[in-house]
Structure 1
């Protein structure tokens, strides 16, 4: 169990870097965040707009 950045960095070796595997890991790791944002986009935007209103 590694933090995401450490896990992706462990794919690299001293003499060899598997770029496609690293990029696939980056895409798979950001996919849940993007899906979560699109599912709760309305609440997120409303929260930001309500935070800027005084009163």
Structure 2
């Protein structure tokens, strides 16, 4: 009975650790995606404005 509780504690601990790392990774992924989305959107807007101003030079 004690060994079952001990192994269950290890499994629960590893599961908690896994969930924590997954949550951290997901948060980091969302943060990086948001940065790239914002940067990409601004870069795309600048590119469109730039190509709009210099249509004859493309």
Name the TM-score, length of structure 1 as normaliser: 0.43
Larger Rg: 2
Query: Greater share of helix residues, 1 or 2?
Result: 2
Name the TM-score, length of structure 2 as normaliser: 0.41
Kindly indicate whether structure 1 or structure 2 has the higher relative contact order, using CA contacts under 8 Å at least 6 residues apart: 1
